[in-house]
Each structure stands twice: as structure tokens, then as C-alpha cells.
Amino acid sequence: MNSDEYKSYHAGDSDALEYHLKLFLFTTIIYGCFVAYVNGWLSLAVMAVISSVCVTRWLIAFHELFHLRRADDLDFITRLQPIPFSPFGLGYHEYQEIHKGHHVNTASADDPDAFHIRGGFFRAFFGAVTQHEQAFVRYIARHGLSRELLVMTLIRLSLFVGLLLIAPAAFLAWWLVLRVTYIINDFVFFHVVHYRGGETGTFSLPLPSWLMHPFVVIYGFDVVYATMYHDTHHRHSRVAARHLPSVAVLEYAK
Ligand SMILES: [Zn+2]
Ligand SMILES: [Zn+2]
């Protein structure tokens, strides 16, 4: 739903450029952490903190861009999605298709994200833990394996295996940080905001200010607002994440 009512809050070309550049920036820092950790320039703790914060910020930039740019409009690296969360992962185009389905059939059995939303805590948590592999298998079962997806999958698989072979112990520590961060974010961004008290739907996630302020400092406005005002995002998916609180207030005042 995107009425013109809140058009002044819609994300535009400059926002798309910002999210696109942020994907590059966070991807570079995440890879930089791996290189620095392999060479002993960063401790495990520092590598884990920086990588984890960047994965969380990267995730929301990735999501915000889904609503603004088609895969064909983006560069190869962004379409590839080179962060090795899994040996078998999907790229930008596939995740954008999945996300479109999530907005159309939100939290219903037909939602392609249903496996990590519905069925209670444990089922959804298992879905979040296995998100990459399940999304990969489910996407191919539904849409088939195109030549492009096959090529991109092989590139991602080679990247994963190559990095693992370069420095096995360091890679596994770094990968665990990436993966655990993804699982936590995924669980909050799908199950927590779409399942409450046994009911599926789309819910806001109010945070007390003592929690919200440090989160904003660490993760930025986009991450915090896109999560807290997820219901507003579903009603107005073109509204930029940073404007979601303003739109929520305007809606409430009606
Ligand atoms: Zn959602
Ligand atoms: Zn969305």
C-alpha cells in the first residue's frame, strides 16, 4: 500500500544511492575484518564486534534497496551478494523476489518467509538458523534453477570454499559471527514482528528509550526504525526507514 498521502516521506534516488554505497561500505569492512583477523591485526573480540555491527547495518540497507532498485539496475557485486553466510546462498534478485512475496502474502502460509515466521518460537527459530539453506532450496523448488542462478551460486560456493581453505580456523570464527548475527536479526525481523501470542500479523516493536538510544548509536536509525515500526513499513513500503516514526505518528493522529 503506497498512497500519495505520505509521498514526501518516500525514499528517492539519493536514498537508493545511499543504501547502495552502504552495502559496498559494510561488505568491505566485513571482509576487511576477515583479512585483519587472519593477519593477527585484530583480536577475535574486536573482529566479532565490528563484523556483527556491520552485518546488522548491511542487512537493513539490503532490505531498503529491495524497495527501490531492481537487480538489473545494480552492479555485479551487489547482485552476487558476496558475504559468505552459507555455501548455498541466494543473490539480490532472489531475495528481492522473496521479499515481494513477503509483502504480498505477509505471514500467511503463502508467504515465502513463512518457515521462519509461523509455527511458534522453536519452529521459527529453526527456520532462522537454517534460513539461507531453506530459502535456497525453497526458491529453486518454486522458481527453478536458471542459468544465471546456477552461475551465481557456483561463484558464491567457490568464494565460501576458497576463504575456508585460505585460513580454516579464522574463517570458521568469522563465519560464525556472520551467521549468528544473521540468525538473531532474521528472527527479530521476521518472527518477532510478525507473530505474537499465537497470532500472525504485522506488529510494531516499541523499545524503551534506554534501549532504543544505544541501539541507534550502534546500529543507526534505519535498523532501529525499520524494526520498531515494521507495521508502518508494511503499510507504506516506499517510506524511507528514517521517516517511519513520523508516518506512524501521523497515522496515529488520524
Ligand atoms: Zn515483514
Ligand atoms: Zn520490506
Residue 2: pLDDT above 80?
A: no
Q: How far is the CA of 44 from the centre of ligand 1 (A)?
A: 33
Tell how far the Cα of 13 is from the centroid of ligand 1, in angstroms: 23
Between CA 247 and CA 254, with CA 252 as vertex, the angle to 5 degrees is 100
pLDDT computed for residue 5 by the predictor: 79
Ligand 1 centre from 156 Cα, in Å? 26
Closest ligand to residue 107's CA: 1
Instruction: Report yes or no: 219 and 57 within 8 Å, Cβ to Cβ.
Output: yes
**Residue 193: pLDDT over 90:** yes
Ligand nearest to the CA of residue 189, numbered in listed order = 1
Amino acid, single-letter form, for residue 113? D
Q: What is the pLDDT of residue 227?
A: 95
Say how many Å lie between the CA of residue 76 and the centre of ligand 1. 26
Q: What pLDDT does 174 receive?
A: 98
Kindly give the distance from the C-alpha atom of residue 194 to the centroid of ligand 1, in angstroms, as a whole number: 7
For residue 118, the CA-to-ligand 1 centroid distance in Å is 12
The full set of domain ranges for the chain reads 4-253
**20 CA distance to ligand 2 middle (Å):** 16
Q: Which pLDDT value is given to residue 252?
A: 84
235 CA distance to ligand 2 middle (Å): 10
Q: b/e map of 13-32 (b: 16 or more CB within 10 Å)?
A: eebbebbbebbeebbebbbb
Cα–Cα distance for residue pair 245/248, rounded to 1 Å: 5
> Where residue 254 falls among pLDDT bands split at 50, 70, 90?
confident
pLDDT, tens digit, for every residue of 154-176? 999 999 999 999 999 999 999 99
